[in-house]
Amino acid sequence: MRRTPKLSSFFLLAFVVQLASSVGAAEAIHEERSRYRDITVTQVGERRCLLFNVHRGDRNQTCVMVNDRDRLVFDYTRMSFAGLLLNPEPSRILVIGLGGGSIPLTFSDLFPSAQIDVVEIDEAVVRVAKEFFFFEETDNMRVFVDDGRPFIKRAGIRGQRYDYIVLDAFSGDYIPEHMLTREFLEEVKSIMSPDSVLVANTFSTSRLYDHESVTYQRAFGEFFNFKLPTSGNRIIITQLEPLPPRGELVTRAVDLADRMLKYDVPMNDYPRRLSTRVDWDMSRRELTDQYSPGNLLREN
Amino acid sequence: MSKSNNKTIPRALIAAMAFASGACIMTIEMLGARILSPYFGGSLSVWGSIITIFMLALAMGYLFGGRLSTRNPNSVTFALFYICAAVFSLPVIFLSDQIMEPIFMVMEDPRYGSLFAAIFLFFIPTTILGMISPYAVRLMVESEEHSGHMAGLLYFVSTLGSAVGTLGTSFYFVLWWEVDQILWGTIAALVLCGCIILVTHYAMNPQSQKVQGRHAKNA
């Protein structure tokens, strides 16, 4: 079917206008250069976004609607809650990588009595999240300015356990290679109990996808590979025990769907997206502390 | 200043060896961050610790190497620097976990943890590698008016070697090999350098073993 020229030019015009308004009106309300990155906060209408290294063309890290703060704007942020299908009532939650803080804030809203620990390497990000993204520390929600790997290693040695772990440290410009390795995943396993779930926001493109998949598979066995057609992210969801059957996920999704509605998380849509199919090159080398050139692999 | 009777190995060879030592120093330094990161993370302060310790160790090495070069400079001592640096790099491969684990347990602050770990892992081999440059200058210099020229030439080749070691390690080696394999390669290169110097020296001075005891000392 062909559109009439008039209609298509209307679409073109609408597109240009939208593009112009989104680019032109994106006003930087805060800019700073931290030890790790350039941080920019922009606002367009009601939508406020956190960007890292904007001059290098990085994507938004987090966006919030200032008039609807519960709503999660990005697919990958929403997808981080798919782990609830495996463990619907977490009581000790660990989030590695704060960003704008929307993941921990949502957890705190969902489970007010849960203990939430957030680890963020860049104290400037913590400051910006508090100042511009409504993030607050509470008695139950603490932020540790630390590197994720030593934090988890130490927690493991102290015998601490978390039942919901989100790894979200990989969305920046530079990949922390020491948090992609088999040894790191073994340390993560040491802070998990049988009912714990691990949710890792990882890379969906480049050779790194294969290497990461192989590494997770060696560490955990089968895992859920969670991708959406609308998002460039790939979320790995796994636990120590064998994965639950799909029927169980569907039942849990139905139970959770209403509660997740206000965050704009389409829970009922998720179970069928959780795949265990191997769609990576299994001959790729596992990433270890000895071999982890993540940044080089991403470029190739 | 008195001189030993031995012929010094060719300048071009000394320069080549200085190039190799520069490359080895930076290869180990670039791997340092990777070795420390499982315990102390990948923050900027870990890089800061490594660079600080390498700088301090090199500074000490320059001082000791320069001092040593005033007493009977000879190719055998020069070769020994390479062999000793290789031997003292072995703990980086074999004992790194045993060294870093107790430091990690005692020190909560990754800044000081990484600093101390870098001292125990890298200070001694890097100091020895630092002794090479001033000693090499002494071996190359025949007259005072030459000394600036030779020092400049030596800085040039050894820094060029450092650049090659840095680039090679960060761009390619870590993509091709494991950390320990690269370290073994570095150690092998150091041992090879030592052997080349020794072989050349004894080839040029077949009598040297007999005269060694009669070397004049510097006043």
What is the per-residue pLDDT across A197-230, written as a single tens digit (0 to 9) for each? 999 998 777 788 999 999 999 999 999 999 988 7
Neighbouring C-beta atoms of residue A205, cutoff 10 Å = 10
Residue B187 to chain A, least CA–CA distance (Å): 17
Of the residues B30, B35, B43, the best mutation for testing chain A's interface (the one with the most A CB atoms within 10 Å of its CB) is B43
- Residue ranges making up the domain that contains B129: 11-207
Nearest by CB: A296 against B42, B175, B179 = B175
pLDDT score recorded for residue A196: 97
CB B117 within 8 A of CB B40: yes
Neighbouring C-beta atoms of residue A97, cutoff 10 Å = 23
Beta bridge partners of residue A95, listed in sequence order: A118, A166
Neighbouring C-beta atoms of residue B208, cutoff 10 Å = 18
CATH number at residue B170: 1.20.1250
pLDDT score recorded for residue A264: 93
The answer to whether position B4 is within a domain reads no
The answer to whether position B1 is within a domain reads no
The answer to whether position B219 is within a domain reads no
| pLDDT tens across the length of chain B (219 residues) | 344 567 888 999 999 999 999 999 999 999 999 999 999 998 889 999 999 999 999 999 999 999 999 999 999 999 999 999 999 999 999 999 999 999 999 998 999 999 999 999 999 999 999 999 999 999 999 888 889 999 999 999 999 999 999 999 999 999 999 999 999 999 999 999 999 999 999 999 887 655 554 554 443
| Closest C-alpha among A299, A20, A210, A154 to residue B104 | A154
Q: The sheet that has A141-145: what strands, in order across it?
A: A141-145, A115-120, A92-96, A162-167, A192-202, A234-238, A224-227, A274-275
Q: Quick one: tokens of A69?
A: 């703060």
Of the pLDDT bands very low, low, confident and very high (cuts 50, 70, 90), residue A59 is: low
pLDDT score recorded for residue A96: 96
pLDDT score recorded for residue B217: 45
Contact B174 A296 (CB under 8 A): yes
Q: Report ipTM (2 d.p.).
A: 0.86
Domain count, chain B: 1
Domains and CATH numbers, chain A: 75-299 (3.40.50.150)
The 8-class DSSP code of residue B214 comes to G
Beta bridge partners of residue A199, listed in sequence order: A166, A237
Residues 6+ apart with CB under 8 A from A179: A96, A148, A149, A167, A169, A170
Residue A236 to chain B, least CA–CA distance (Å): 22
pLDDT score recorded for residue A195: 93
Residue A167: Cβ-neighbour burial (10 angstroms; 0-12, 13-18, 19+): buried
The answer to whether position B193 is within a domain reads yes
Contact B110 A296 (CB under 8 A): no
The answer to whether position B3 is within a domain reads no
- CB contacts < 8 A, A to B, total 62
Neighbouring C-beta atoms of residue A19, cutoff 10 Å = 10
The answer to whether position B70 is within a domain reads yes
CA distance B24 to B127: 13
How much of chain A exceeds pLDDT 70, in percent?
A: 87
pLDDT score recorded for residue A40: 87
A181 chain-B contacts, CB cut-off 8 A: 38
CA distance A208 to B88: 35
Give the active site residues of A.
Answer: 168
Of the pLDDT bands very low, low, confident and very high (cuts 50, 70, 90), residue A154 is: very high
pLDDT at A12 over 60: no
How does DSSP assign A162-179, residue by residue? EEEEEE---SSSS--GGG
Nearest by CB: B110 against A150, A177, A291 = A150
Contact A147 B177 (CB under 8 A): no
Q: In angstroms, what CA-CA distances link B62 with B9, B127, B159, B208?
A: 21, 8, 14, 27
pLDDT score recorded for residue A16: 52
The answer to whether position B140 is within a domain reads yes
